[in-house]
């Protein structure tokens, strides 16, 4: 680059290494993000993706190597340095304050001041105008509280906030995790517009299909090292998976690029059992708020029942109601024939019902405690005092087994959870629920944010739990994955269960037919 030219790269990272204690989590990483490009970063949970980008943001200091933003070298002397050079990031742990409005979130700790040191409302207005136009945000939505916004509105608000701080480089750490298919389309449209204006975009994702949908370049990390970096058109799904897993190409396919086959090979016990079996869970005419008006369904012991529907169709509300975290205004629920009306999650847990919520960061973990303690905590709460003593060693064995089964990667089971990567934290929440031996396990988007290997492990563990006689409700927006996991899938539409489709109905139990059933108006 000659003096005065625009640099070709928005972000350049050279020979970056990072060590936590004795543990090297990044080694000799080179990454170059072109201006105007969308550069995907992929890799298993704990591969180092978020840490690498936190270094670019100046939130972590590298042990080795250097970083340039728009050609200017970071000194890591000041935390705000990367932002002044033009890098904005939407972190994996989202940071909006739910009780504040969009506008307040946008300018939080970054108000614009005029010469007198007061908030410069005129300039703020002008910025808001520009950002809402650029990102296609409804201006009126900005005066609502974040808790009243849809997931895509929240995501765009996070992006607006990141862009305000820097428009050389925009980093998005798993932005699609909580979005529906339509919302992801909208997000990608917006990213295309931002890139076209010259910003270099870094997109971290576990959904390999997204890599091919939007990115122009892709870099893969494995155990802190770059195993592949090329233009997207020069690679394939199989290559990427091989680079992630460190094995020869496996020729896997699926919506995450996973080992997910459409359709269901094993005739499930629940489906095979036929009509004479008594359902272990019955829900009749359930009404909750304005989302669910009249939901009825049956689920059998040993069954994984999928709950599908568009965003906002009430999937999460249904699960939360069964967990005592939302109150129905009408209807009846029975567990093994006995009326069940939990007034709180602790009442639900006491009878063996457990929920893994979609928003796991908030609900799931005591961050300062270790992996082991987090898993044991919930086990111990379930047991009376004398049983605690007897069961502790059993519990310890179970916890160990589950940490191994889900491949929770840290330096050891006594590592505090806040030192784990995002996906590994999610695995701890799942391990907790799976160790519990619930009677009814409610899973809300159980594979969000976890990598291919862990997804496979989770599916297997959930199937094992069902085989031991539990009822599992699996709510998800990933229909392809559901067809490989579930025995039957209930479709929620307009506040009711509009259809229940069994794996045995081959013509209807595939991604396309399910979409049609969900979207039919
Ligand atoms: N503050 C910390 N102290 C110790 N180790 C840490 C700390 N932060 C991250 N690590 C470790 O660094 C490694 C990389 O973590 P990172 O969060 O970058 O992974 P990731 O690729 O983003 O994974 P995921 O897909 O799960 O989000 C992990 O082994 C993690 O445990
Ligand atoms: Mg991460």
Mean pLDDT of 101-120: 77
The reply to whether ligand 1 has any atom less than 6 angstroms from the CB of 219 is no
CA 424, CA 430: separation in Å to the nearest integer?
A: 10
DSSP 3-state of 237? helix
**Rounded distance from Cα 83 to ligand 2 centre (Å):** 20
CA 141, CA 144: separation in Å to the nearest integer?
A: 5
CA 247, CA 257: separation in Å to the nearest integer?
A: 15
pLDDT at 362: 54
* Least confident stretch, 139-148, 278-287, 402-411: 402-411
Q: Answer positive or negative: Cα dihedral of 190, 191, 195, 199.
A: positive
State the Cα angle at 337 between 336 and 342, rounded to 5°: 80
Q: Of the residues 16, 48, 452, which should be mutated to test ligand 1's pocket, given the most ligand atoms within 8 Å of the CB?
A: 48
Q: Is pLDDT above 50 for 352?
A: yes
**Of the candidates 60, 68, 59, the residue with the CA atom closest to the CA atom of residue 15:** 68
The ligand 1 atom at the shortest distance from the C-alpha of residue 174 is 27
Torsion of CA 310, 315, 317, 322, to 10 degrees: 170
DSSP 3-state of 205? coil
pLDDT at 390: 56
Residue 333 exposure: Cα atoms within 13 Å on the Cβ side = 24
Mean pLDDT of 211-219: 96
If one compares 453 and 119, the residue with the highest pLDDT of the two is 453
Region at 349 (left for phi over 0; alpha for psi -120 to 50; beta for the rest): alpha
The residue nearest atom 7 of ligand 1, judged by CA position, is 419
**Rounded distance from Cα 367 to ligand 2 centre (Å):** 16
The residue nearest atom 13 of ligand 1, judged by CA position, is 46
Q: What band does 500 get if pLDDT is binned at 50, 70 and 90?
A: very high
Ligand found nearest the CA of 41 = 1
The enclosing H or E element of 345 equals: helix 345-350
- Which range, 233-237, 353-357, 365-369, is most confident? 233-237
pLDDT at 359: 72
Ligand found nearest the CA of 453 = 1
The reply to whether ligand 1 has any atom less than 6 angstroms from the CB of 224 is no
Q: Answer positive or negative: Cα dihedral of 229, 233, 239, 245.
A: positive
Q: Are the C-beta atoms of residues 127 and 119 closer than 8 Å to each other? A: no
Q: Are the C-beta atoms of residues 275 and 491 closer than 8 Å to each other? A: no
**Rounded distance from Cα 449 to ligand 1 centre (Å):** 13
The reply to whether ligand 1 has any atom less than 6 angstroms from the CB of 50 is yes
Q: How far is CA 38 from CA 11, 170, 203, 237, 401, in A?
A: 12, 9, 7, 17, 40
If one compares 44 and 164, the residue with the highest pLDDT of the two is 44
The residue nearest atom 4 of ligand 1, judged by CA position, is 419
Q: Are the C-beta atoms of residues 55 and 18 closer than 8 Å to each other? A: yes
**Rounded distance from Cα 9 to ligand 1 centre (Å):** 26
Q: Are the C-beta atoms of residues 255 and 299 closer than 8 Å to each other? A: no
| β-pair partners for 287 | 330
pTM score above 0.85: no
Residue identified by tokens 């410069």 is: 120
Q: Is pLDDT above 60 for 94?
A: yes
The residue nearest atom 18 of ligand 1, judged by CA position, is 48
The reply to whether ligand 1 has any atom less than 6 angstroms from the CB of 425 is no
Q: Are the C-beta atoms of residues 152 and 186 closer than 8 Å to each other? A: yes
The reply to whether ligand 1 has any atom less than 6 angstroms from the CB of 421 is yes
DSSP 3-state of 376? helix
Beta strand pairing status for 330-335 and 281-288? antiparallel
DSSP 3-state of 273? coil
| β-pair partners for 16 | 29
Q: What band does 246 get if pLDDT is binned at 50, 70 and 90?
A: confident
Residue range 311-332, pLDDT digits in tens = 778 899 999 999 999 999 999 9
pLDDT at 3: 46
pLDDT at 409: 77
């Amino acid at each position: 680059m000659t003096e005065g030219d625009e640099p070709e790269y928005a972000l350049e990272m050279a020979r970056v290494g990072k060590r936590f204690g004795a543990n090297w989590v990044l080694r000799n990483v080179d990454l170059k993000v072109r201006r105007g490009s969308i550069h995907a970063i992929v890799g298993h949970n704990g591969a180092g993706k978020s840490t690498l980008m936190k270094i670019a943001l100046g939130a972590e200091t590298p042990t080795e190597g250097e970083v340039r933003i728009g050609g200017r070298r970071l000194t890591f002397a000041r935390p705000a340095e990367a932002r002044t050079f033009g890098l904005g990031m939407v972190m994996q742990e989202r940071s909006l304050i739910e009780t504040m409005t969009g506008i307040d979130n946008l300018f939080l700790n970054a108000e614009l001041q005029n010469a007198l040191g007061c908030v410069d409302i005129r300039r703020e207005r002008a910025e808001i105008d520009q950002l809402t136009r650029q990102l296609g945000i409804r201006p009126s939505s900005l005066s609502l509280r974040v808790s009243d916004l849809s997931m895509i509105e929240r995501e765009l608000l996070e992006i607006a906030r990141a862009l305000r701080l820097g428009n050389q480089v925009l980093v998005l750490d798993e932005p699609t995790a909580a979005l529906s298919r339509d919302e992801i389309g909208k997000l990608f449209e917006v990213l295309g517009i931002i890139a076209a204006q010259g910003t270099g975009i870094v997109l971290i994702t576990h959904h390999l299909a997204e890599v091919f949908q939007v990115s122009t370049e892709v870099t893969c990390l494995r155990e802190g090292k770059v195993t592949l970096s090329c233009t997207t058109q020069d690679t394939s799904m199989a290559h990427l998976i091989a680079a992630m897993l460190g094995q020869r190409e496996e020729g896997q396919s699926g919506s995450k690029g996973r080992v997910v086959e459409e359709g269901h090979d094993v005739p499930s016990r629940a489906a095979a059992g036929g009509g004479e079996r008594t359902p272990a869970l019955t829900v009749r005419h359930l009404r909750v708020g304005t989302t669910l008006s009249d939901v009825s369904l049956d689920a059998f012991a040993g069954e994984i029942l999928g709950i599908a529907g568009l965003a906002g169709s009430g999937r999460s509300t249904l699960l939360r109601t069964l967990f005592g975290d939302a109150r129905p205004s009408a209807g009846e629920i029975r567990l093994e024939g006995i009326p069940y009306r939990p007034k709180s999650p602790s009442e639900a847990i006491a009878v063996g019902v457990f929920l893994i919520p979609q928003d796991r960061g908030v609900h799931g973990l005591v961050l300062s405690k270790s992996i082991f303690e987090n898993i044991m905590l919930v086990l111990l709460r379930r047991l009376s005092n004398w049983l605690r003593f007897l069961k502790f060693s059993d519990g310890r064995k179970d916890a160990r087994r589950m940490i191994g089964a889900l491949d929770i990667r840290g330096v050891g089971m006594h590592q505090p959870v806040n030192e784990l990567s995002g996906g590994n934290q999610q695995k701890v929440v799942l391990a907790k629920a799976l160790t519990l031996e619930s009677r009814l396990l409610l899973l809300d988007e159980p594979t969000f944010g976890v990598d291919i290997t862990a997804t496979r492990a989770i599916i297997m563990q959930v199937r094992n739990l069902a085989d031991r006689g539990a009822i599992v409700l699996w709510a998800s927006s990933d229909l392809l994955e559901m067809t490989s996991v579930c025995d039957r899938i209930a479709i929620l539409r307009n506040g009711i269960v509009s259809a229940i489709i069994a794996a045995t109905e081959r013509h209807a139990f595939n991604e396309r037919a399910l979409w049609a059933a969900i979207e039919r108006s």
